[in-house]
Structure 1
Amino acid sequence: MEGTVNASHTHPLDEGPKYKPLPILISLLISGFIGMFSETALNIAISDLLVVLQITPATAQWLTTGFLLTLGILVPISGLILQWFTTRQLFVASLAFSILGTLTAALAGSFEVLMVARVLQAIGTGLMIPLMFNTILIIFPPEKRGAAMGVIGLVMMFAPAIGPTLAGLLIEHLSWHWIFWISLPCLVFGLVFGILFMKNVSVITKPPIDVYSIILSTIGFGGLVFGFSKAGEEHTDWGSSIVVFSLVIGAAALFLFVLRQLSMKKPMMNLSVFKYPMFVVGLVMILLCMMIILSTMLILPLYLQNGRGLTPLEAGLVLLPGGVLNGLMSPIMGSLFDKYGPKWLVIPGLIIAAVVLWFFSGVTTASSLALLIVLHSSLFIGISMIMMPAQTNGLNQLPSELYPDGTAVMNTLQQVAGAVGTAVAVSILSNGMTDYMRTSVNPLDPLEAIKAFTFGAQHSFLFGMAIAIIGLMTAFFIRRVRVDKQAMQQL
């Protein structure tokens, strides 16, 4: 019998719902879907942007680095923002930034304008992600959160699934601008729908604003995300002065930020969330999963295009079944979580992920596309069994007044984990290619370059497998959180 942990807090809706959750959920999902679609679709367009905007790959990387950096700066203070502004105010602000950024990107004729657009989009996303999770925790009681999170997973994972394929079609027949032109009316519709149906569900407490905490948070998390992102760029290694400087300054500022939060009566980010063991276990699982997802989503398309010679559209079609299947599995996993708890989903999910990544480490230039589709689909089935149950179970243990802090901590560290995962995966890929070419009999042969890339990708997949094994060892500590609405029990 699976062990349980009782959480003694009372849910805000225990007195009876004062609003309909479904329209609120739909408002959030429309906006979140388009944000995720724009992000993944633009990744496929990078090769086209190199030619059209006459930029180098290192410059183009800033379209991703700048987006992550903005999130790394904004998300840590989201807990504070959620307690200062109403749900409707934050929703409208998020959509306004997203619409402005999307319109700017659609009209962009230079890299500089597109870069500004990406920052505006990141601000919109940085406001929407914490708002979405915090609102779900408030409007749904604990016994229904798994299903609600599953619906979010269905919509949010469907966007990156169709993003590369649809982007490939748009680029082939129109231009990369249409990635944003088709997103724009959807965002406007989401804004109108939200204005009509979004309700204020959170409690506004307006805690004091500590400027020093904001500065330390910005330098700390921003420095770490920037440093790891730079380490993942072409022609930049871990020993680069800018990488070392960014990581050292970021780590030092983050250390001072933690000390300041612990010494404040009303901290900007309440670190007491780390006193809840299942939140910590769930957080670790989420961070490891993000490293697996983002490193695989980076390496696999590169392998398909550089190791197998596929076009962006063909690569997108190979990745499509796995992404769609992951989305379809999310509601199922949500219902199973509500019924059985996290352990019997998370542990098998990590075993599946580890085994699939081991098979991926054996791919060659001759591996069949059918095998790659099956492996990719199986990996994301495993991921769907891990992400939502671990996240929901961890957040369930927090008292309602810590929901903004819990979602802020989780979403902030996900940005850092994503930057770490991609940077390490790219470093392993580059080192593997270098090692192969060093022992090659004919390094000038183009076929050898393809084999070298495949060799590096194999080692990157082994890195993902190692992360999955660490997650599996952590999963044995997870226990189901049952929210006790009656008795107040000490954890």
Structure 2
Amino acid sequence: MRQNPSAPSSASSGISAEAPGGLSRTASQAIWLLLFAAFTVILNETIMSVAISELMEDLHVTAATAQWLSTAFMLTMAIVIPTTGFLLQRVTTRQMFISAMSVFSAGTLLCMVAPGFTVLLIGRIIQACGTAAMMPLLMTTVLQLVPFNQRGRMMGRISIVIAVAPAIGPTISGAILSLASWRWMFGVVLPVALFMLFLGWKNLKNVSETRDIPLDLLSVLLSALGFGGLVFGLSSIAEVHDAPMTLPLTGIIGGVMFLLVFGWRQLHLQRRDSALLDLRTFTHRNFALAAAVSTIAMGSLFGTVILLPLYLQRVLQIDPLTTGLLLLPGGLAMGLLGPVIGRIFDAIGPRPLVVPGAVALSIVMWLLTFVDAGTPVWMLLAGHIAMSVSLACMLTPMFGSGLGVLPPKLQSYGSATIGTVQQLAAAAGTAAFIAVMTIAQNNALASGADEAEALVSGLQAAFTVGACASLVAVVLTPFITRVREDSPAPASH
């Protein structure tokens, strides 16, 4: 690998002298800063979920339109994240961090002052561009700096960011909405983002090497058309009603075709190490399985997080603050269990964790198919906590075992690929859940059901789709194996 002259040397980065049994001060400082920054930006993926009902009234839009504030955020991340594998090869840790947090802060400010839905949507897209860089940057830095026998523990901390930040988003937004307008959801986040930007500008040192590789613009275009078309098609289903399905089907089929061409081009470009996403990561079985299972897990998480608030507020008539508080215990469970699961994973490997986790997730999803207007709130609370625990058991071992098998030169691509499929799953899961719910709801209304009964019918149909998908995770997780200690180690500095 040809090192860029501007890349940090071991001496300048301060990571050559690793403390016994731990990380150097510079490495530890970099990882913790990235963890807190990632938590701040990922929180915004679901901060809008509890606000959907209020936004529908305030901005005079339908549920299918309002959900684009979440779907467009995740879709943009799915489009932008593939480029981060390239960017992490070309720019330093410091440059990537400052750029990402600056873009995120600008998008947050635009959302806060948005005069209407269109500007708010644009602000969310800008936010997502900044957010997209953070998780691949964090994961790649961890793989470069953290010794093998500590990766599980560190991945447990990362799982807090990936799972807890989205899980507590509804709680935070519910608390804010009980005191102020939806604009303050962004007004509260903005100073935190600016503070993280200041800390990074002042303290973050470069901890990565760079190399000159070309950017294939055609791959970027194919990626955007593929991911964008697929999620647009799924989201459009919810707005079709009695009209022909021409537009949604065109988006879905076109998206799949562009993704196939994108994949073919990556196979061609990776022969000379210039792919936007190097698909050789999928030749490692653990990585391929982790990508598939995390796709199902994230789709289930985000689909449920968007539907439960609608159910609690519109069927059970629960206010936004209480709705957010009901979703808080699950987020706290993920947070508390993340590091614990990481230590267990280091000790016994992934299979004893991911198999029970997948089974528990499937059971919860099937139980949610029975929700109705008379379902006790405590049952929903228990179900959400059980889902959160099952996801905690799955996410850390999957990231650790999936990324841990990759050689150093594929680690940045692996991080970007996992991030891409997760965000595509989150966006597609949200869009698909809303689409199925809307179709079933409209059919129930046409049959004479009242609004609450129709919404329950739609929710049951959407959860059934998620429950069926969860069975695939149950089948796949037994094949995930433990990574041996002679697997690729962190890059030497």
State the TM-score, normalized to the length of structure 1: 0.89
**Aligned pair partner of 2:94 in 85, 88, 92:** 88
Per-residue deviation, residues 245-280 of structure 1 (Å, max 9, x unmatched): 222222222222222222222222211111111111
Match of 1:9 in 2: none
Q: CA deviation at 1:361?
A: 2.1
Q: Is the 8 A contact 1:228 1:419 kept in 2?
A: no
Counterpart CA distance in 1 for 2:83 and 2:244 is 31
Secondary structure class of the residue paired with 2:53: helix
* 2:37 paired with 1:31: yes
Counterpart CA distance in 2 for 1:292 and 1:450 is 23
Task: Please list, as runs of the form range in 1=range in 2, the aligned pairs for 1:120-269 lying within 5 A after superposition.
Answer: 120-231=126-237, 233-235=238-240, 240-264=245-269, 265-266=272-273, 267-269=275-277
Secondary structure class of the residue paired with 2:483: strand
Unaligned runs of 5+ in 1: 1-12
The amino acid that maps onto 1:466 is C
Q: Is the 8 A contact 1:225 1:415 kept in 2?
A: no
Q: Residues 15 and 21 of structure 1: is their aligned pair in 2 closer, same or farther, counting only changes over 3 Å?
A: closer
* 2:424 paired with 1:416: yes
Q: CA deviation at 1:243?
A: 1.6
Secondary structure class of the residue paired with 1:476: helix
Secondary structure class of the residue paired with 1:310: coil
Counterpart CA distance in 2 for 1:87 and 1:159 is 23
Q: Residues 383 and 239 of structure 1: is their aligned pair in 2 closer, same or farther, counting only changes over 3 Å?
A: farther
Counterpart CA distance in 2 for 1:14 and 1:342 is 31
Q: Residues 296 and 203 of structure 1: is their aligned pair in 2 closer, same or farther, counting only changes over 3 Å?
A: same
The amino acid that maps onto 2:194 is V
Q: Is the 8 A contact 2:111 2:124 kept in 1?
A: yes
Match of 1:358 in 2: 366
Match of 2:81 in 1: 75
Q: Is the 8 A contact 2:287 2:405 kept in 1?
A: yes
Unaligned runs of 5+ in 2: 1-14
Match of 2:4 in 1: none
Match of 1:7 in 2: none
Q: Which moved more, 1:414-423 or 1:90-99?
A: 414-423
Match of 2:306 in 1: 298
Q: Which moved more, 1:241-250 or 1:151-160?
A: 151-160
Two-structure CA RMSD over aligned residues (Å): 2.4
Secondary structure class of the residue paired with 1:173: coil
Match of 1:450 in 2: 452
* 2:476 paired with 1:468: no
Q: CA deviation at 1:165?
A: 2.5
Q: Residues 424 and 188 of structure 1: is their aligned pair in 2 closer, same or farther, counting only changes over 3 Å?
A: closer
Counterpart CA distance in 2 for 1:237 and 1:83 is 48
* 2:428 paired with 1:428: no
Counterpart CA distance in 1 for 2:56 and 2:487 is 57
Per-residue deviation, residues 148-191 of structure 1 (Å, max 9, x unmatched): 12112234434334322332232232221211111111112111
Q: Residues 163 and 26 of structure 1: is their aligned pair in 2 closer, same or farther, counting only changes over 3 Å?
A: same
Q: How many residues end up aligned between the 2 structures?
A: 468
Per-residue deviation, residues 193-242 of structure 1 (Å, max 9, x unmatched): 222332222221121222222222222222223222333x3445896222
Q: CA deviation at 1:368?
A: 1.3
Per-residue deviation, residues 291-343 of structure 1 (Å, max 9, x unmatched): 21122112222221222222222221221111211221111111111111100
* 2:127 paired with 1:117: no
Counterpart CA distance in 2 for 1:143 and 1:66 is 38
Counterpart CA distance in 2 for 1:429 and 1:52 is 22
Match of 1:101 in 2: 107
**Aligned pair partner of 2:325 in 304, 307, 317:** 317
Q: Residues 422 and 142 of structure 1: is their aligned pair in 2 closer, same or farther, counting only changes over 3 Å?
A: same
Secondary structure class of the residue paired with 2:46: helix
Counterpart CA distance in 2 for 1:46 and 1:359 is 25
* 2:339 paired with 1:331: yes
Q: Which moved more, 1:36-45 or 1:388-397?
A: 36-45
Q: Is the 8 A contact 2:235 2:432 kept in 1?
A: no
The amino acid that maps onto 1:170 is I
Report sequence identity in percent: 35
State the TM-score, normalized to the length of structure 2: 0.88
